Structure 1
Amino acid sequence: MTPVHELGAASPTRRRAALLRFATEVGAWAAVGMAFAQISLPLAIAVVLASVAVPAVYATPGDKHQALIPVPGWVTLAILAATMAGGVAAAWITWPWWGAIALSALTIASLIVELPRWRWLLTVRG
């Protein structure tokens, strides 16, 4: 497989990976929001806003066009893994089984397509 840093920005593989990652993140944000809304609506809003803001602010140089606060690749990887794991766990807690299965399958597909990027991220020191 070609390392992410060698893939062109407009390559179909990179676009597909980005689309799956975004869809997974949106699903995770929805599931986490619904889970926290059972406790408190303001808390749910705060958690979802934080979940969106953290990967927007902290980024690995070379992974995004602009990194507001540059971090090593493992930090970006940890943020994404936490988002995915939290989303799947929240979906199984709050969604009907078919919704949790759908988000789980989407997350697995995203992980498979993202493997080259994840391997590359583990090599970037930041």
Structure 2
Amino acid sequence: MSSRRPDDRAASALRFTTELVAWVATPWALAGHSWLLAALSVLILIGLPTLFSTPGDKAHVIIAVPGRVTILLVLLQLAAAVVFSWLAWPSWAAVPVTLLAAATLVTERRRWRWLVSANRRAD
């Protein structure tokens, strides 16, 4: 398998869009329960992927982690976008979010294969 990261501009765009939705929908849904939970959700959803990344996947790595951890962080974002969009918004808004997350899952496959390859370990 190639050691170069696959070209995934479409996947990156879908992934980032889904992350944006998660960053909005999660605190929106949690704000009615607790402003602290809402604020913590944003810190977690933005902070974890900022701190932890797989070498070669991002230009700047603060804390190196194996590719599987990066995949889990993406799955966290996707799950948050879907679950909290359904909790915060009407179905006409949540359905497109669910479809967006599904499309992201499909387009992420090449990157995820690359992330779990032997060369994507945290050093």
Structure-1-length-normalised TM-score = 0.86
- The residue that corresponds to 1:81 in the other structure is 75
Task: State the SS of the aligned residue for 1:5.
Answer: coil
Shift of 1:89: 0.9
Contact kept, 8 Å, 1:59 with 1:69, in 2: the verdict is yes
TM-score (norm 2): 0.88
**Structure 1 pair 6/73, CA: closer, same or farther in 2 (3 Å)?**
closer
- The answer to whether the 8 A contact 2:30-2:37 is kept is yes
Quick check: 2:5–2:114 contact (8 Å CA) kept in 1? no
1:113 equivalenced with 2:112 (yes/no): no
1:125 maps to 121
Once residues 21 and 46 of structure 1 are traced to their aligned partners in structure 2, the CA distance between those partners, rounded to angstroms, is 21
Aligned length: 120
Structure 2 matches for 1:28-107, cutoff 5 A? 28-107=22-101
Q: Does the C-alpha gap of structure 1 residues 19 and 4 become closer, same or farther in structure 2, counting only changes over 3 Å?
A: farther
| CA distance in structure 1 between the aligned counterparts of 2:2 and 2:102, rounded to whole angstroms | 19
Q: Distance in 1 between matches of 2:100 and 2:2?
A: 22
Give the CA deviation at 1:76.
0.5
1:72 deviation in Å? 0.2
CA contact (8 A) 2:54 2:70 kept: yes
- Detail structure 1 runs of 4+ shifted over 4 Å in the superposition: none
